[in-house]
Structure 1
Amino acid sequence: MRTTHSRGLSAGSPWATSSLEVNELQIAGYESNIRLRLYRRAGLRSLPVMLYFHGGAFVGGSLDDADIAARHFAEHLSVLVISVGYSLAPKHPFPAALEDGYRTARWAEGAGRAIGGDGKRVLLAGHCAGGHVANGLAFVARDRGDVRIAAQALFSPMLDPSMTCLADERVVDSDISPRQCLASYRAYLPQASQRMHPYAAPLESSRLAGLPPSFIATARNDVLHVEAETYAARLIGAGVPTQVMRYPNATHERIAYDPQALQDAVRFFECHLEPRAVTVG
């Protein structure tokens, strides 16, 4: 894979800060180019790479939506955060977003020093559909064996295309509805058989062993919190080190930038990182 375009952000950019270096570039993806936004603290090199996948229910979302979380991780962890502008449905259905994530992971390993990262040490994080993509990439990395995922954090992930584990929307004051979830799954997984694929429907998988340590953040005011917590329980049952936290005042949308959820994820990742970042003068 080759870089097709890169752009540094000037000091006047809305994304630039005094403590972070932020750059954008594009690489070749599964069906179209992938926009990436890279965040790291100035002066640090050989950083573990975190791939962050924005929310948007498979059909929307952008790098701008991911900015708060990506910036938080880059500022509070010694990591190079790569925010991934993966392909969106319905134009690009499964497995386009997942394969874009995989190609980004392989690109980060090859780019290495040129981007200030160590692509042999990879973390994953994502919100909503981005949590689905991140988790699917953990499956792919385990099965293909050429990407090592050290840990993952999923924020209100969409994990159950069968929609059998939704909370009662009459009780939960959710900002995403079952109808919206159904439309999103049908856009990303247009074929019924795809909705049973283990990379797309992890609750249907009987092979969860070997997945990376996982942090799963759920929101009480979210119809999706039951499926995420069910998945956490199944990971624990499969021997995967898993931490699950429900945030009582968060919603599906807000959990992506909830300060407590982000900080809890930082502490989780700190437990699974080796302090090998190199400072250059």
Structure 2
Amino acid sequence: MQTSTSTTHLQHDLSIAGPAGRLALRLYRPSRARVVLPVVLYFHGGGFVGGSLDDADTPAAFIAEQTPALVVAVDYALAPARPFPAAPEDAHAAALWAAVHAADLGCDPERLAVAGDDAGGNLAAALTLIARDRNGPAIAAQALVGPMLDPSMTRLGDGARLNSDLSAATCADCYRQYLPQSRLRLHPYASPLASVRQAGLPPALIVTAECDVLHNEAEKYAAALIAAGVPTQVVRFAGINHATLAHHRPALAEIAHFLRRRLWDAEAPAHPLNL
């Protein structure tokens, strides 16, 4: 395992073996925690074609401190160089690694959650489907922040009416690069909203922004989860646009509160570490 360290936000950078080469991760550990922690995988935004670990810094650091949890940000494959299914396969590889190495990291492999914004929200949702279908690793909760869930774009909102900072043209360009074969747009791991099998997925928090063309499809996905019996909470923030949502402090507080309830309420932090 190749590692490097950073002092900012108690970060630790490393790389692991991925499906197509090395996969970079950035770990965020809460500054005051001295107990066995849950693990949260975080996937940054960027429309499947951009973004980096740096884009996850604000939400990942906040979630690490306020949940508290060890947050693992994942530098997944980007299109067009590596289109679908490279990104969700990287996500699953990171989840498997986290589950296997949780104890070594001072964490509980049975308290693993996923979160992400924009395209990262798609990957977090897709990962819950993949983990269920492949019998692991078990995921306890999912938090989706302004997620891109519908490559068909049939549920996209009216950008002008919503005063959205994200346009249909931008979404179309991202999906064109991520899913170069049109038939893939109905694959459930590319389009969680197209899946007809939401039963058995982990409890969900879906956070949306009022001024975002994506909020309708995200809330439709929440309705599908609820219909399938998945405990689901939806929070829409008024006056907020897509780009702002993943760094909006009230939204981050909502995510941390959700993860605390799902990852800590069932098991009090009662296992001290010898650090």
TM-score w.r.t. the length of structure 2 is 0.94
Q: Look up the match of 1:280.
A: 274
Please state whether the residue corresponding to 2:29 is helix, strand or coil.
strand
Q: 2:16 matched to 1:27?
A: yes
Q: Look up the match of 2:99.
A: 109
Check the 8 A contact 1:215/1:243 in 2, yes or no. Answer: yes
Q: 2:85 matched to 1:85?
A: no
Please state whether the residue corresponding to 2:102 is helix, strand or coil.
helix
Question: Whole-Å Cα distance in 2 between the matches of residues 228 and 69 of structure 1?
Answer: 19
Check the 8 A contact 1:29/1:100 in 2, yes or no. Answer: yes
Q: Aligned AA for 2:13?
A: E
Q: Look up the match of 1:210.
A: 200
Question: Whole-Å Cα distance in 1 between the matches of residues 243 and 192 of structure 2?
Answer: 22
- TM-superposition CA deviations, 1:49-84 (whole Å, max 9, x none): 100000000000111111000000011012110011
Check the 8 A contact 1:32/1:87 in 2, yes or no. Answer: no
Q: Look up the match of 1:201.
A: 191
Kindly state the Cα deviation for residue 45 of structure 1 after the two structures are TM-superposed: 4.8
Question: Whole-Å Cα distance in 2 between the matches of residues 278 and 62 of structure 1?
Answer: 34
- Structure with more of its chain in helix, by fraction: 2
Aligned-pair Cα RMSD in Å: 1.4
Question: Whole-Å Cα distance in 1 between the matches of residues 82 and 272 of structure 2?
Answer: 39
Q: Look up the match of 2:139.
A: 149
Q: Aligned AA for 1:210?
A: G
- TM-superposition CA deviations, 1:12-34 (whole Å, max 9, x none): xxx24xxxx31000111122321
Q: 1:120 aligns with which of 100, 110, 124?
A: 110
Question: Whole-Å Cα distance in 2 between the matches of residues 104 and 228 of structure 1?
Answer: 24
Q: Look up the match of 1:57.
A: 47
Q: 2:119 aligns with which of 123, 129, 136?
A: 129
**What is the percentage of aligned positions where both structures have the same residue?**
49
Please state whether the residue corresponding to 1:142 is helix, strand or coil.
helix
Question: Whole-Å Cα distance in 1 between the matches of residues 125 and 103 of structure 2?
Answer: 26
Question: Whole-Å Cα distance in 2 between the matches of residues 207 and 7 of structure 1?
Answer: 40
Count matched residues: 270
Kindly state the Cα deviation for residue 275 of structure 1 after the two structures are TM-superposed: 2.6
Question: Whole-Å Cα distance in 2 between the matches of residues 226 and 161 of structure 1?
Answer: 13
- TM-superposition CA deviations, 1:175-211 (whole Å, max 9, x none): 1110110111111111111101111112221111111
Q: Look up the match of 1:36.
A: 25
Check the 8 A contact 2:39/2:113 in 1, yes or no. Answer: yes
- TM-superposition CA deviations, 1:111-152 (whole Å, max 9, x none): 223322223321000000000000000000111112111001
